[in-house]
Amino acid sequence: MFSRRKPQVPTGPPSRQPRWGGSLTPLLLAALVGAILLTTSGQVRAHHAFSAEFDAKAPVTLKGPVTKVEWINPHAWIHMEVTKPDGKKEIWMVEGGTPNTLQRGGISRDSITIGSPIVVAGFRAKDGRLRANGRDITFPDGRTLFMGSSGTGAPKDGRDPNDKTKPKGPS
Contacts of 89 (CB under 8 A, 6+ apart): 81, 82, 83
Residues of the chain whose pLDDT is less than 70?
1-24, 27, 29, 32-48, 149-171
Among candidates 125, 141, 143, which has minimal Cα distance to 133? 125
Tell me the CA distances in angstroms from 24 to 11, 15, 29, 33, 142, one per residue in order. 20, 13, 8, 14, 63
Q: What is the pLDDT of residue 156?
A: 60
Give the pLDDT confidence of 91-139 residue by residue, as tens digits.
Answer: 999 999 999 989 998 999 889 999 999 999 999 999 999 999 999 999 9
Give the chain's domains with CATH numbers.
50-146 (2.40.50.140)
Using the Cα atoms of residue 147, residue 150, residue 151 and residue 155 in order, give the sign of their dihedral: positive
